[in-house]
Amino acid sequence: MEKLIDKISSYNIFNFFFPGAVFSALADHLGIIAPPSDKLIERLVWYYFIGLIISRIGSLMVEPILKSIKFVTYADYKMYLAASQADSQMATMVETSNTYRTIIAAFLALAVSFIVNTLANDLKIDVNTRELVLISGALILFLFSFRKQSNYISRRAEHYGGEPKSP
């Protein structure tokens, strides 16, 4: 257990655990969804997983929307890599930026969850249907997350001189 805790980075804490715990506490308070039992390990896994989902919502939905309306802009990827090599604070600044994006996504997910939960209750949609929709949504979210991460890895490999190989 100690080795596992040693491997948890500040990125994991601020982009997965913290948003997952905040979302879970507020969702529980609003009667949207209750976290699992009071067992510490189950709660930590729950917070991490909920935070992971929220982080992916931020990366795949919030960020592109904010970029498209020019609320945020990013430097060219090659410029970012060069700046990362020259400025040791870049990693910390990116982590902080990603934390803010994830918190935005948490509050957005909370608002949407509240609205959907209210509508589902009003329309008397059964729990099994709700769970199927959630599972399907998570599947789609992680499919697109996998594609985004794979593209990111390919771009980074190309930058450092490797040519991508077709499968």
Domain boundaries, the chain: 2-159
Binning pLDDT at 50, 70 and 90, where does residue 19 land? Answer: very high
pLDDT of residue 4: 64
Task: Tell me what the mean pLDDT of segment 2-23 comes to.
Answer: 85
Residue 6 has pLDDT above 80, yes or no: no
C-alpha distances out from residue 7 to 3, 11, 54, 90, 129, Å: 6, 11, 21, 21, 37
The percent of residues in the chain predicted with pLDDT above 70, rounded, is 93
Structure tokens at 58: 């931020």
pTM: 0.87
Q: Residue 10 — pLDDT band, cuts 50, 70, 90?
A: confident
The model's pLDDT over 150-166, given as tens digits with 9 standing for 90+, comes to 999 998 888 887 655 55
